[in-house]
Amino acid sequence: MAFKDRILYTHNTWSLAVLRLFLGLVMFPHGAQKLFGWFGGHGPAGFMKSFEQMSGMPGWLGWMVIIIEFIGSICLILGFWTRIWALGFIGLFIGIILSAHLSNGFFLNWSGNQSGEGFEYHLLVIGMAWALTVGGAGKLSIDHTMASQDRKF
């Protein structure tokens, strides 16, 4: 099986489609906040300023965050190159945990007693993305359509 076929092949299941759709829908507003300032965000200038100040990382990594969260979420919703974008989310969220949330412990800061948020939400994103990396996009995906068309020829 060719590399492209391994990336596109997916089991034709609803569970993967639902997982892909919900991960994309949850991540879309985060990317839109950073890229367009929608949903109460500050747009790219505001995000880049805070990203560089808080993380001390170069600006190009901030643009990678924006690309993964915005374009990646749309691609997940459509089921386009799902495994590639899911791997991008895994890398992004491991980086977020290590750079910003590990020191705050596991739990989210529901009661306001911590100095920041824990990483439990981030683990859920990683788990969802890992399932998509392993299983593919599922039903109603561009990946499934492209893989099916390749097999006909």
Q: What is the pLDDT of residues 74-117, one digit of tens each?
A: 999 999 999 999 999 999 999 999 998 999 989 988 888 888 89
- 104 DSSP 8-state letter: G
Q: pLDDT-based confidence at 25, cuts 50/70/90?
A: very high
Do the beta carbons of residue 118 and residue 104 sit within 8 Å? Answer: yes
Domains: count for the chain: 1
Residues 6+ apart with CB under 8 A from 39: 29, 32, 33
Q: pTM to 2 decimals? A: 0.91
* Residues 61, 66, 69: CA angle, nearest 5 degrees: 120
Q: What is the pLDDT, as a whole number, of residue 129?
A: 98
Task: Please tell me the predicted confidence (pLDDT) of residue 134.
Answer: 96
Which range of residues forms the domain containing residue 92?
3-24+66-152
The pLDDT value recorded for residue 150 is 54
Residue 38 lies in a domain: no
Q: What is the mean predicted confidence (pLDDT) over 51-77? A: 94
With respect to residue 47, please indicate whether it lies within any of the assigned structural domains.
Answer: no
Distances from the Cα of 5 to the Cα of 10, 19, 70, 80, 147, angstroms? 9, 21, 25, 13, 6
